[in-house]
Amino acid sequence: MDDARLLNAPFDSPEAVLPPGHTYESVGEKVASIPLAPVSGTRWQWMLGLAVSLLFLLIFLVAIIYDVQQGVGIWGVRIPAAWAFAITNFIWWIGIGHAGTLISAILLLVNQQWRTSINRLAEAMTIWAVMCAGLMPLLHLGRQWLFYWLFPYPNTMGVQPQFRSPLVWDVFAVLTYFTISLLFWFTGMIPDLASLRDRARSGFARTVYGFLSLGWRGSARHWHNYQITYLLFAGLATPLVVSVHTVVSLDFSISLLPGWHSTIFPPYFVAGAIFSGFAMVLTLIIPIRSFYGLKDLITLRHLDNCAKLLLATGLIVAYGYLMETFMAFYSGNTYEKAIVLDRLQGRYAWVYYTVLFCNVVLPQLLWVRRYRRNTVLLFILSIAINIGMWMERFVIVVQSLSRDYLPSAWRIYGPTLWDWLTLLGSLGLFFTMQFLFMRLLPMIPISEVRELLHRQRGHTA
Amino acid sequence: MRERYGFMAEFDDPRLLADAAGAAYREGYRKMDAYSPFAIEGLDEALGLARTKIPFVFLIMGIAGAVGGFLLLYYISVVYYPINVGGRPLNSWPAYIPISFELTVLSAGTIGFLALLIINRLPMPYHPVFNSASFAKHASNDRFYLCIEADDPLFDPDRTRDFLMGLNPMGVIELEK
């Protein structure tokens, strides 16, 4: 692809997003050929990827069964650190989901056309990430089979949830987020499923995609209602995504624990979520665009823009780190100061310094345009940021808990094998879903890319 | 032959479709529909479509979710299962805002999605337009169609067909019901 030409295209012209040479048909052919490839045409690299993911999913299942059977004592959680890996995983996964919503909803509202090629992938990533996230607090319940006690329903015990607790808010926030993301994703996919139905050569594929596409026929009346619904979904998802990580951060900041009790948490968590989410978007799209030959639909311009957002949100996160430390000393509060000093000098200091290196130092490379367009570097950087953001949440959750007010209660937390297997297993769930999605559903929104093409032609005409 | 559904003109350019829809509307046809693989700006005005009711559904269901959600929390926390926390007020409403907000979004989003399906009458397993082999192959890919239906009061087999032919289409297809 002629990247040099794209580089010089004016910022707001659609031409900068889509390279010349595509037609309505070629876009459909390119995207649809992946899910419509016959079973015999499945590539071995994909099968290997799925097999490895399934192995980790199996590990996850074992870890879940053992957890349900034995209780959370199989993890390293001990008072005072009653929360550790599972909660860290929860925040990490749900944060990853947020970039998907940012791309699909917020960038739609602000009319950023470059979002088009990557929004389906990012939304799918959101759904798998929220699935992984939602499981974590569930597994952390002592008796998982009583999870429905979290809902307000009339019951013979005559008790109800405590609605002043952010932990109950979490239940509503995460479930709403999952439901809306799923509906938004599916709504966006209906016209593309119809396109797959009409292109399918095998009767089985035609039946399945036909069923999923609900009989969509592209009527102008339908488009009329469809577009406004899609826009309204975006309008709902935008405050929703901010509210979800805000509620997650309130789980911490509403408590009185030093290191948690801080008003900067909501914005700092939301920025961190988008930061880590964009890192995951890059981790996924860099291999996908080269493996499936989609470099002309997901261009360097897309990677460049993601990298810029990574840099911007990374700077907000860095500001959060700075302010946390500053406020501890500025407040003059003995306990706040102690927790910050422990963060810098204590047993978990190496984790904190790794966080600073991955999330603050490394992203500064992205000021340089050449690095933003270097896929290998971006890929490595995105993985470093994923790890860094996981460790950041670990420091917030565990380091703060392990040293609360009473020195006699202090206790260093160490993960057990089952902690690690739960974390790795959740990656298995995420990647299994992602591999299946890539093979079975249209990864790039065909109709939206065509619409962009149509507008682009309007420009040239 | 089975009953006629209408005549459908086939185009290979979205701009031709928008022009054709406008021309048909000016000619007086109302029972017609345009089909395209992606949304075309201006096509709804050209066809004279009424404003969509979807935003209204979102608004009403959003309000219902917000009010219903808050009342649920109020009822449970104040009336049904009051918990005295250090003498603080039972109706500590700021704490009820996050859940009320989530229920606003949940209610507007799920019912709004259902409204989209109901107003569009989806899922619809059968529709006469798919009787055209060309439509079934191209309508979701690279061609654009304008169908004037037989139950339009102005519909006349010869005149309507000639009118559609005059719009510069690739061809005109006769559709059975």
A116 falls in which pLDDT band (50, 70, 90)? confident
Q: Which of the given ranges, A417-421, A452-456, B47-51, has the highest pLDDT on average?
A: A417-421
Residue A141 is predicted with a pLDDT of 92
Chain-chain contact of A173 with B102 (C-beta, under 8 angstroms): yes
Every domain of chain A and the residues it spans? 21-151+159-460
Average pLDDT over residues B50-64: 95
Nearest CA to CA, how far is B1 from chain A (Å)? 24
Q: What is the rounded distance in angstroms from the CA atom of residue A306 to the CA atom of residue A297?
A: 15
- Mean pLDDT, rounded, of chain B: 93
Q: Is the pLDDT of residue A18 over 80?
A: no
Label residue A460 by pLDDT band (50, 70, 90): low
Of A219, A246, A247, the CB nearest to B33: A219
Confidence check: pLDDT of A11 > 60: no
Burial call A324-358: b when 16+ CB within 10 Å, e when fewer: bbeebeeeeeebbbbbbebbeebebeebbebbbeb
pLDDT for the residue A457 = 76
| φ and ψ of B32, to 5 deg | -150, 165
Answer yes or no: do A169 and B102 touch at CB < 8 A.
yes
Neighbouring residues of A39: CB distance < 8 A, sequence distance ≥ 6: none
Q: Does B108 touch chain A (CB under 8 A)?
A: yes
Q: Which amino acid appears at position B168 of this protein? A: N
pLDDT band at residue A117 under the 50/70/90 scheme: confident
- Tell me: domain A21-151+159-460, CATH 3.40.50.300, correct? no
With contacts defined as CB-CB under 8 Å, which chain B residues touch A111? none
Q: Are B61 and B41 within one domain? A: no
Tens-digit pLDDT profile for residues A161-203: 999 999 999 999 999 999 999 999 999 999 999 999 999 989 9
Mean pLDDT in residue range A205-218:
94
Structural domain boundaries enclosing B112: 54-119
Chain B residues touching residue A199 (CB < 8 angstroms):
140-141
* Residues of chain B found within 8 Å of residue A455, distances taken between Cβ atoms: 41
Judgement on whether residues B100 and B66 belong to the same structural domain of the protein: yes
Statement to judge: residues B61 and B111 lie in one domain: yes
Question: Once rounded to an integer, what is the mean pLDDT over residues A282-302?
Answer: 91
Return d(Cα B137, Cα B134) in angstroms, integer: 5
* Spatial distance between the Cα atoms of A341 and A321, rounded to a whole number of angstroms: 13
Does position A138 have pLDDT exceeding 50, yes or no? yes
CB-hemisphere CA count at 13 Å for A16?
16
CA distances from A187 to A105, A122, A193, A231, B151 (A): 13, 15, 10, 11, 31
Residue A126 has pLDDT above 60, yes or no: yes
- On whether both B110 and B146 belong to a single domain, the answer is no
The residue that leads in pLDDT, A5 or A432, is A432
Distance CA A238, CA A104 (A): 9
Average pLDDT (B116-131) is: 93
Specify whether B43 is located in the same domain as B58: no
User: What confidence score (pLDDT) does residue A459 get?
Assistant: 61
ipTM reported for the complex, 2 dp: 0.94
Average pLDDT value for residue range B28-34: 93
B108 and B152 housed in the same domain: no
Query: DSSP assignment, residue B12?
Result: S
How do residues A43-77 score in pLDDT, each as one tens digit?
A: 999 999 999 999 999 999 999 999 999 999 999 99
Question: Which pLDDT score, from 0 to 100, does residue A153 have?
Answer: 93
Q: Which residue has the tokens 């102690």?
A: A338
Two tokens, residue A340: 């910050």
What does the pLDDT read at residue A6?
Answer: 44
- Predicted local confidence at residue A329, as pLDDT: 94
* pLDDT > 70? residue A206: yes
What is the dihedral angle through the alpha carbons of A196, A202, A208, A209, rounded to the nearest 10 degrees?
10
Asked whether the beta carbons of residue A158 and residue B96 sit closer than 8 angstroms, the reply is no
Q: Given a cut of 90, is residue A219 above it in pLDDT?
A: yes
Of B110, B113, B141, nearest to A24 by CB-CB distance is B141
Asked if B59 and B29 sit in the same domain, the reply is: no
Distance between B140 CA and the closest CA of chain A, angstroms: 5
Model pLDDT for residues A344-370, shown as the tens digit of each residue: 999 999 999 999 999 999 999 999 999
Q: Which residue of B has its CA nearest to A445?
A: B38
Q: What local confidence, expressed as pLDDT, does residue A3 receive?
A: 43
Under DSSP, is residue B146 helix (H, G, I), strand (E, B) or coil? strand
Count how many domains chain B has: 2
What value does the mean pLDDT take over residues A274-288?
A: 95
Is the same domain home to B85 and B36? no
* Percent residues over pLDDT 70 in chain A: 96
